[in-house]
Amino acid sequence: MPLDPLRGKPAPPEKLVNLASLTSDYYTLPPASPVSFGTSGHRGGASRGSFNETHVAAITAAVAEYRARQGHAGPIFLGWDTHALSEPAWRTALEVLAAAGAPTVISRGREYSPTPVVSFMILEHNRTSPSAPADGLIITPSHNPPDDGGIKYNPPHGGPADQDVTSWIEKRAADFVEDPGKVKRIPFARALKAACVSERDYLAPFVEALGTVVDLPKIKASGLRLAADPLGGSGVHFWGPIAERWGLNLTVVNTRVDPSFSFMTLDADGAIRMDCSSPYAMANLISGSRGYDLAFGNDPDFDRHGIVSGGALMNPNHYLAAAVSYLLSARPHWRADLKIGKTLVSSSVIDRVVAGAGRGLYETPVGFKWFVEGLLAGSLAFGGEESAGASFLRMDGTAWTTDKCGFCMALLAAEMTAATGRAPDELYKALAGKYGETDYERLDSPVSPEAKRRLAETRPEELVGREIAGRKVVSAIDRAPGNGASVGGLKAVLEDGSWFALRPSGTEPKMKLYAESFSGPDFKKAILEGAGPLVLGE
């Protein structure tokens, strides 16, 4: 992907979305594409005809029908973020849920509702009322650009729905898109007053419970100067109460909520994208981090984290490795048999950290959904993925959230610093000195149907013994070691521990190529250049 010359610079006026036109398109344009659930719900744009009122009403009606069929008699927690399309979609969803008589809980005062907060609310309810399980519906396209919208369903386990569930919802929603008249709705004003709709404080219980997962008194005692940038996202009103309740020396450096996200700096491709793992999108926080011991940012639904340590944004893989290493030594009440979950395209430094601690590794395909059951059951201490999303157990070994939690991962960075006297980037440097320095990159490129076919037909054993830049492939897999699930492509490991993985996108005509080199950046470049020809014959 070519780098845009304006990357890391303030968004110019011509990059800003026309909010009035966008909202109008949501209500007036007919669907131009079907409902399609990717790794985290249905996403699209109103002006492109891929996220419109018809889509949202159809998906919500399908969810209402699904939960009724499953006997989910508890509340459905309805959450939303700060994207321009989120409020109209939230209104649509409430109109459909109220018409269906679904016991719907909305946040008090219509407060924004981060993904981990909805997951937390689901689990808290289900701990005390297991016979009437709750679930959730969250209106968010995550870190996508301002003109996008999204909606995702979290079943009673509190995490992302698996493919069996999303396939059913997707199919049923398609029926409703085909015949929108079948969707029952009531006007928004009536929906707000419906007997099945109630308000609940989402903020205070979550803020209070954070002390069960992160050692907040230790952070307070350290006096660390912390900076938080919500990037205009749904957690914008949470950081202040967190700092006040727990006595943290924390400054919220950006309190603006603007659906056009005009305060953002442009991402690598010149788009406005609230990606807290991108140094270009995080340029304001990075440049403003002087004077603070640690700074962190989050994406709009707060399920991801970005850690600025030592004046630079940490590579997400580096922070995951440092976090895992710290947690395995700092949680004495965790059982010794707990495993660490990671996606197989996350850094192999994590593998080495886990092995060095004498713990078990649970390696899965891409997607946080694979960690849900383990976190819920308390058999996984931690689940993390390469795209800066993770969650971990409470200090007593019970579940915190079964969806990614940007709050706990950001605050963990402060706990690590307070407890060790070393910032997260310093802790990672020590790990790299012990386990090997790596160079990691992911490339996305267009892919033809023929290339996808060749990848699907290539057997892992065909790669073993073949070479890239003089190093042999010693093992290859098409199923994840942790749960045996298909990885949707191939991963190959070379004799020095370097590796690459190829998999086509499930939502776009792109091939994703991941590479990690333990032999320097030049060898990483050789992997990126040689993996495609090796596997696809291109």
Cα distance between residue 450 and residue 486, in whole Å: 20
Residue 500 domain-assigned (yes or no): yes
For residue range 493-504, list pLDDT tens digits in order. Answer: 999 999 999 999
41 φψ region: left (φ > 0), alpha (ψ -120 to 50), beta (else): left
For residue range 360-416, list pLDDT tens digits in order. Answer: 999 999 999 999 999 999 999 999 999 999 999 999 999 999 999 999 999 999 999
- Catalytic option among 142, 222, 325, 391: 142
Residue 152 domain-assigned (yes or no): yes
**Residue 207 contacts by C-beta under 8 Å, 6 or more apart in sequence?**
238, 241, 242, 245
Environment class of 210 (CB within 10 Å of its CB; exposed 0-12, middle 13-18, buried 19+): buried
DSSP 225-248: -EEEE-TT-TTTTTHHHHHHHHT-
At 522, which CATH number?
3.30.310.50
Q: How far does Cα 295 stand from its chain's mean position?
A: 19
> What is the 8-class DSSP label of residue 30?
P
- The pLDDT of 473-491, averaged and rounded, is 96
Residue 48 domain-assigned (yes or no): yes
The one-letter amino acid at 366: V
At 70, which CATH number?
3.40.120.10
Residue 325 domain-assigned (yes or no): no
Cα distance between residue 96 and residue 84, in whole Å: 20
Res. 423: pLDDT tops 90: yes
Residue 398 domain-assigned (yes or no): no
Cα distance between residue 239 and residue 242, in whole Å: 5
Cα distance between residue 366 and residue 455, in whole Å: 17
Helix (H) / strand (E) containing 457: helix 449-457
For residue range 297-337, list pLDDT tens digits in order. Answer: 999 999 999 999 999 999 999 999 999 999 999 999 999 99
Q: Where are the alpha helices (DSSP H) in 41-162?
A: 53-70, 86-99, 115-128
Residue 115 domain-assigned (yes or no): yes
Res. 338: pLDDT tops 70: yes
Q: Residue 508: how many CB atoms within 10 A of its CB?
A: 12
β-strand 339-343 against 380-385: which pairing, if any? parallel
Model confidence at 198, pLDDT cuts 50, 70, 90, reads very high
Last residue of a domain, one of 205, 225, 240: 205
Mean of per-residue pLDDT scores for the chain: 96
Structure tokens at 169: 């919802």
- Single out the residue of 249, 259, 262, 313 nearest to residue 287, CA to CA: 313
Model confidence at 218, pLDDT cuts 50, 70, 90, reads very high
For residue range 257-279, list pLDDT tens digits in order. Answer: 999 999 999 999 999 999 999 99
- The pLDDT of 187-199, averaged and rounded, is 98
Q: Residue 450: how many CB atoms within 10 A of its CB?
A: 10
**Residue 141 contacts by C-beta under 8 Å, 6 or more apart in sequence?**
43, 51, 83, 85, 148, 149, 150, 300
pLDDT reported for residue 536: 86
Cα distance between residue 271 and residue 18, in whole Å: 15
| Residue 69 dihedral angles phi and psi, to the nearest 5° | -65, -35
Cα distance between residue 504 and residue 506, in whole Å: 6
pLDDT reported for residue 537: 79
- Single out the residue of 362, 412, 407 nearest to residue 384, CA to CA: 362
Residue 326 domain-assigned (yes or no): no
Any catalytic annotation for residue 142? Answer: yes
Res. 419: pLDDT tops 70: yes
- Cα angle for residues 269, 322, 295 (degrees, 5° grid): 55
**HEC sequence for 35-57:** CCEEECEEEEECCCCCCCHHHHH
Last residue of a domain, one of 170, 188, 205: 205
- The pLDDT of 433-442, averaged and rounded, is 95
More confident residue, 194 or 469: 194
Cα distance between residue 93 and residue 113, in whole Å: 15
For residue range 135-180, list pLDDT tens digits in order. Answer: 999 999 999 999 999 999 999 999 999 999 999 999 999 999 999 9
Q: Is the CB of residue 264 less than 8 Å from the CB of residue 281? A: yes
pTM of this structure: 0.96
Q: Is the CB of residue 268 less than 8 Å from the CB of residue 1? A: yes
Model confidence at 444, pLDDT cuts 50, 70, 90, reads confident
Last residue of a domain, one of 205, 232, 262: 205
Res. 508: pLDDT tops 90: no
What is the C-alpha radius of gyration for the chain, rounded to an integer number of angstroms? Answer: 23
Counting the structural domains of the chain, the total is 2
Res. 39: pLDDT tops 90: no
Res. 538: pLDDT tops 70: no
Res. 97: pLDDT tops 70: yes
Task: Give the domain range for residue 500.
Answer: 439-536
Choice among 209-213, 449-453, 518-522 with the minimum mean pLDDT = 449-453
Res. 507: pLDDT tops 90: no
What residues does 153 pair with on adjacent strands? 137
Residue 103 domain-assigned (yes or no): yes
Residues above pLDDT 70, as percent of the chain:
99
